[in-house]
Chains A and B, each alone.
Chain A
Amino acid sequence: MEQNILLACRDLTLGYEQQALVEHLTLDIASGDYLCVMGENGSGKSTFLKSILGLLKPIRGEIIRSDALRLSGIGYLPQQTQSQKDFPATVKEIVLSGFLSARGFRFTYSAAELSAAMMHMGKLGILELQGRCYRELSGGQQQRVLLARALCAASKLLVLDEPVTGLDPAAAQDLYKTLRYLNEKEGIAVLMVTHDLNNALAEAKHVLHIGRTRWFYGTTEEFLASDTGRRFGGVR
């Protein structure tokens, strides 16, 4: 595997039980990449996401994680659930929980973890919110908290599941700006599942479009020139 490849999908067939949703998918995610995954509901976007996260075994083919990725983990930003909306927890408690991975047991967080959490909160502009209760924050602020938690969990790859759903346009632009900063300045690879085509095409370096019968993977320019892309091309 090449040096800067974080994750490689080789001839993947994905789906549930024996029903394949995506077949013969091959792609690489390199460090510093920005990949947007699009497609209709039920086309297999979440299946792809679950497979990348290691929660679902592919029917055929394999997903190879580089040593660097295995070491640093994947920072995941899931869709918000209903029960989180009135959850009593402070921003700091939530951000710190990003450090709890499968690595051993512990009673408290280390000083290094505390300062790393502060750094991530500072980077995302939520440091002054650290003592506030999660349920009192705006949608955009909540996403920043979850993003800070994802950064605590991983330093190489962020995986986001429809992150702008439910955000107002200004908060959505804010989030894209933050992601661009993390991607360009910190070199973190971004993989985002989204329905927000306009913005996604403006931000992404690569596009994976999953259709009912076939999929397309390429750079954003290639996508816009493709048959599927041309249908969306007008909206840019």
Chain B
Amino acid sequence: MSMLLQMFTYPFILRAFAVGILVSLCAALLGVPLVLKRYSMIGDGLSHVSFGALAIAVACGWAPLAFSIPVVIIVAFFLLRMTEKSPMGSDAAIAVFSASALAIGILVTSLTTGMTTDVASYMFGSILAMDKGDVILSIALSLAVLALFLFFYHRIFAVTFDESFSRATGMNVDLYNSLLAVLTALTIVLGMRMMGAMLISSLVIFPALTSMRLFESFRAVVLSSAVLAVVCFSLGLTASYLFSLPVGAAVVVAHLSAFLLALALSKLRLRK
């Protein structure tokens, strides 16, 4: 118990909690429409592109966020367009994109600085990666995502459920899709350094998937995703501190446990 209390006396842990909870919350909210629209792979692709961009920025000595945020936003638009235009080949295209970005990132690093701890922490995440600037940026981002979600809640639902109908009633569907892409890109760039490029997309996908097993209305799925995101991140980070585990992996395992629990519950409910 005293270990738990002591945990909150370290500023880096507090920063990790603040950034992690906010990023998880954003990722989970954005994840509901993304998963329902079958765009889950976009999150994964974006995180790898984000890794490539960060690696290049580090190698060239540029500010990592200032370089990678615009790159990832542009790629997000591109991937979204690709998913809309070619439903058959989009998963292959995204896979090609993310593998290539990863490969270029690794090549650039090994040619210049070598695989430093910096790069390793981008791959698998690090609890120490958060500084004051990240905290401020994550607060700003999450406020923006929350505000947009509240403000456009009904419209996000309508566009997610049925694009053709929404288009026919005069809604600007492309605008909502672009908004979704930009916010997802920002969330992934911010969360990646703590969670790791390999694991960040789980923050987007798991809460929505778990909630879909448990609840039947869109509103309940959204609320439950938000709650799950906060709870699982807190559990993961605490476990990571207590048992010296890598934080990204611990959070993903927390999400996996929640998902398996939900799966068992829904199976049990079906049998009744």
Contact = CB atoms under 8 A, between A and B. Distances in A.
A153 B169 contact: yes
Task: Give the contact-size bracket for chain A.
Answer: 35 or more
B168 A76 contact: yes
B74 to A, nearest CB: 26
Contacts of A55: 167-168
Interface in A79-95: 79, 81-84, 86-90, 93-94
Contact of A81 (B162, B171, B219): B162
B168 A133 contact: no
B51 to A, nearest CB: 29
B224 to A, nearest CB: 10
A87 B161 contact: yes
Contacts of B38: 82-83
Contacts of A82: 38
Nearest to A91: B217
B217 A90 contact: yes
Q: Which of A87, A96, A105, A153 has the most chain B CB within a 10 Å cutoff? A: A87
Nearest to B157: A97
B10 interface: no
Nearest to A149: B165
Given A94-B161, A97-B157, A83 B36 contact: yes
Contact of B217 (A97, A100, A133): A133
B258 interface: no
B164 A78 contact: yes
A74 interface: yes
A84 B218 CA distance: 12
B217 A88 contact: yes
Interface residues of B, number: 29
Given A73-B169, A88-B212, A105-B151, A100 B162 contact: no
A100 B169 contact: yes
Interface string B160-204: 011011111111000000000000000000000000000000000
Contact of B162 (A78, A86, A133, A136): A78
Interface string B16-44: 00000000000000000000111000000
A182 interface: no
B169 A84 contact: no
A164 to B, nearest CB: 18
A74 B166 CA distance: 11
A93 B154 CA distance: 9
A182 to B, nearest CB: 18
Contacts of B219: 93
A76 B158 contact: no
A77 B123 CA distance: 46
Choose among A81, A89, A107, A153 the residue with the greatest number of B CB atoms under 10 Å from its CB: A89
Interface in B204-226: 211-212, 215-221
A102 B212 contact: no
Interface string A215-228: 00000000000000
A105 B216 CA distance: 26
B171 A84 contact: no
Nearest to A150: B165
Contact of A87 (B36, B168, B211): B36
B155 A88 contact: no
A102 B168 contact: no
Given A76-B169, A102-B171, A84 B162 contact: yes
Contact of A100 (B150, B151, B155, B215): B155
Interface string A99-117: 0111001110100000000
A93 B165 contact: no
B221 A88 contact: yes
Contact of B169 (A83, A93, A102, A133): A102
22 contacts: A53-B168, A54-B170, A73-B170, A74-B168, A76-B164, A76-B169, A77-B165, A81-B164, A83-B36, A83-B37, A83-B38, A88-B215, A89-B161, A90-B216, A90-B217, A90-B218, A93-B217, A96-B154, A97-B154, A97-B157, A150-B165, A153-B169
Given A74-B168, A87-B36, A136-B216, 11 more contacts: A54-B170, A86-B212, A88-B36, A88-B215, A88-B218, A90-B216, A90-B218, A93-B217, A97-B154, A101-B169, A102-B171
